[in-house]
Structure 1
Amino acid sequence: MDFANTPSFFRSGPKPGTRLLLCALASIALLVGDSRYGLMEQARDGMSLVLYPLQRAVNLPLGMVRHVSDYFTVQADLKSENDQLRTRQLEMSARLARLETLERELNELRSLNAIKASRNDAAQLAETLYTGRDPFSYKIIIDKGADAHLQPGQPVVDGHGLLGQITRVQPLTAEVSLIIDKNQMVPVMIARTGERAILYGYGGGVEIRYLPLHADVRENDMVVTSGIDGLYQEGTPVARVSKVERNAGAAFSRITTEPLAGVQQTRFVLVLQEKGQTPPRPAEPVVPVKKTKGKKPADSE
């Protein structure tokens, strides 16, 4: 028998219609078997494991593109949000600074109003406009002058203590020389002991001079006006003792003080009335000249 000339089954095979019918029957059988008895469950699991690396490889470029896009999107959103927060922080910082300034000014006004209410004289509230032009003198210009009946010599205070005195009056403004000016002197006393002294300004600060070594002065002692002149009322706070140096070789103690008033930072001030006129100093008694017998006083040339 010649097998070479015999047509093979796989070469010829069934007709296309038969193949279609067999495939349809096999598909139906697999569908019914899978739905009823779960015949293809294990096959699907195995195929999913086999095809998972291929699926990951196919989806990897798309996933990378998506991740890169999300990264840049998130970075742009974060930068925009960061810029907005920075801008808002600057605005809030400026607003907070304004609120702190307003709060400080409100506290100053409350202190000055309390001082004004406690006095019987016509104290006047004024605002600091600017400082003096001379950098070697410590002066400020206030917004009250001759129009408010101010006069040279009137003391000026803030909510903490003595600030200075008016030294020049103009029609709408007045010049105030601060107590730290080198030309200013204030009669003071130590509030704890009543020891009287003179407070001198030295251009940027104040100090007490010419107190003897045995004077009872300590650190943190309050220095107030003594009221022995015709300008300052007694008891106005002026400074606080910060350092006391006693050198045995010196004739006087060296006492450093710190002014209580905001001499270089206050905005609102209170102009007080001068102390009432004090009676003039009594004249020195005239010592009579004794006459000598037999001698005449020499003629004065």
Structure 2
Amino acid sequence: METAPQFFRNGPGPFARLFIFAILSCLLIAEDTRFKYFPQLRQTIGVIIFPLQKIAYIPSDIYDQVEKLITSFNLLEENVKLRQLYLDRREQLLRLEALEAENTHLRRLLGAVQQIETTAKTKVVLAEIQYTPRDPFNHKITLNKGSYHDIELGQAVIDDKGIIGQITQLYPWSSEVTLLTDKDHAVPIQVVRNGLRSIVSGTGKNNELELRYLSVNTDIQQGDLLVTSGIGGVYPPGIPVATVLKIEQDSAGDFALVTSAPIAGVNRNRQVLVLSLAQVESNNSLETPTIESGTN
């Protein structure tokens, strides 16, 4: 049986090794402090082994790059899913907001019907705006209800704010409404503040009405609320029409030029109410107006 050489079996003791390494450390520290040969040697060795270090780091770099690539693909896929989910939820939210706004408007329309002062039963048909003209000089809109839904010529059209216009063209499943702002349209009105009666007419301009042929000393002020007077039997009395914006005098100084802005409008909502002209005997008692949506 072979035995290890004597040199490898008997070496210096632990304390002797500690002493030798301590002396060697002190020498290295002293050399590094005073002579500074080892820093240059370390730099030379570092330059020599730098390519070897780069080669040794190649597998780790490849692993890091592959991991980043996989993570990027996962993030990209997750972003696509999250974006699609966001778009779906956004679409649902917009639909819910639209439905909420529509329900709020319908409740306001119901409240507007209940506020109509009449001694006869008023039949009301709910309609939607199908078409609004792009031409600024065309002041007519089209509704999705016609003679098939008991709509008649001359009926008043309102929203939750007030008067919009009047039915002027009738078809089986649609009808055309002439707006208040049309230059050929006029509505009998009454000033709420003092009961003054007059007629407000369209000017052919958006959001502008005028009261014509009023004397300069007529008791009318800026901000006065104009409502329907009920004269003529077309519009029920007490429905808001416009608010006075400014009062001027004509060039001759004989008449006042009163400009007002309509309270209602067709640019805010899709639903409107068509008020029936048909009056039903009610034995001189107030009855609640009824709403019919008609048949599509």
Q: What TM-score comes out, normalization by structure 2 length?
A: 0.66
For residue 57 of structure 1, the aligned residue among 32, 53, 59 is 53
Instruction: Give unmatched runs, 5+ long, in structure 2.
Output: 26-41, 281-296
2:108 and 2:79 mapped to 1: Cα distance? 43
Do structure 1's residue 206 and structure 2's residue 203 form an aligned pair? no
Tell me: CA distance 1:21–1:80, structure 2 relative to 1, closer, same or farther (3 Å).
same
Q: Do the aligned partners of residues 217 and 61 (structure 1) sit closer, same or farther apart at CA in structure 2, a change above 3 Å counting?
A: farther
User: Which amino acid in structure 2 is aligned with residue 205 of structure 1?
Assistant: N
Moved more, 121-130 or 153-162: 121-130
Give the direction of change, closer, same or farther, for the CA distance of 1:257–1:75 in structure 2 (3 Å limit).
farther
Displacement after TM superposition at 1:245 (Å): 4.3
RMSD: 3.8
**Could you tell me the percent identity over the aligned residues?**
33
Q: Which amino acid in structure 1 is aligned with residue 98 of structure 2?
A: T
CA distance in 1, matches of 2:115, 2:211: 32
Among 56, 76, 81, the alignment partner of 1:84 is: 81
- The alpha-carbon distance between structure 1 residues 124 and 246, as it changes in their structure 2 partners (threshold 3 A), is same
Match of residue 260 from structure 1? 263
Tell me, yes or no, if the aligned pair for 2:222 and 2:247 is still in contact at 8 Å. Answer: no
Other-structure match for 1:157: 158
- The match for 2:238 is 235
Q: Distance in 1 between matches of 2:8 and 2:165?
A: 113
Answering whether residue 9 of structure 2 is matched by residue 25 of structure 1, we say: yes
Match of 2:194 in 1: 193
Give me the whole-angstrom Cα distance separating, in 2, the residues matched to 1:189 and 1:168: 27
Alignment partners' CA distance in 2, 1:223 and 1:26: 121
- Partners of 2:239 and 2:99 lie apart in 1 by 26
TM-superposed deviation, 1:157: 0.8
Shift of residue 250, structure 1, vs aligned partner: 5.3
**Secondary structure at 1:261 match in 2:** coil
Structure-2 separation of matches of 1:275 and 1:150: 10
CA distance in 2, matches of 1:207, 1:90: 44
Give structure 1 stretches of 5+ with no counterpart: 1-16, 278-301
- 1:174 maps to 175
| Secondary structure of 1:232 counterpart | coil
| Range with bigger deviation, 206-215 or 101-110 | 206-215
What displacement does 1:236 show? 0.2
**Could you say if the C-alpha distance between residues 248 and 75 of structure 1 is closer, same or farther in structure 2, counting changes exceeding 3 Å?**
same
Cα separation, 2, equivalents of 1:22 and 1:266:
107
Relative to 1, partners in 2 of residues 1:63 and 1:169: Cα closer, same or farther, differing over 3 Å?
same
Letter in 2 for 1:144: K
The offset of 1:202, in angstroms, is 2.6
Tell me the alpha carbon deviations over residues 152-196 of structure 1, each in whole angstroms, 9 at most, x when there is no partner: 111111111111111122223222212122221112233223333
Distance 1:195 1:26 in 2: 130
Give the letter for the 2:127 counterpart.
A
Q: Which amino acid aligns with 1:272?
A: L
User: What is the match of residue 294 of structure 1?
Assistant: none
TM-score (norm 1): 0.65
The CA deviation at 1:150 is 2.4
Matched residue count: 246
User: Counterpart of 2:148?
Assistant: 147
Evaluate the alpha carbon distance shift between residue 102 and residue 78 of structure 1 in structure 2; reply closer, same or farther with a 3 A threshold.
same
**Deviation per CA, 1:23-52, whole angstroms, max 9, x where unpaired?**
76369x98xx69xxx969x89xx9xxx9xx
Distance 1:125 1:237 in 2: 19
Alignment match, 2:127: 126
Which is greater in Rg? 1
**Structure 1 residue 66: Cα displacement:** 4.0
Q: 1:147 to 1:88 in 2, by over 3 A?
A: same
CA distance in 2, matches of 1:217, 1:177: 27
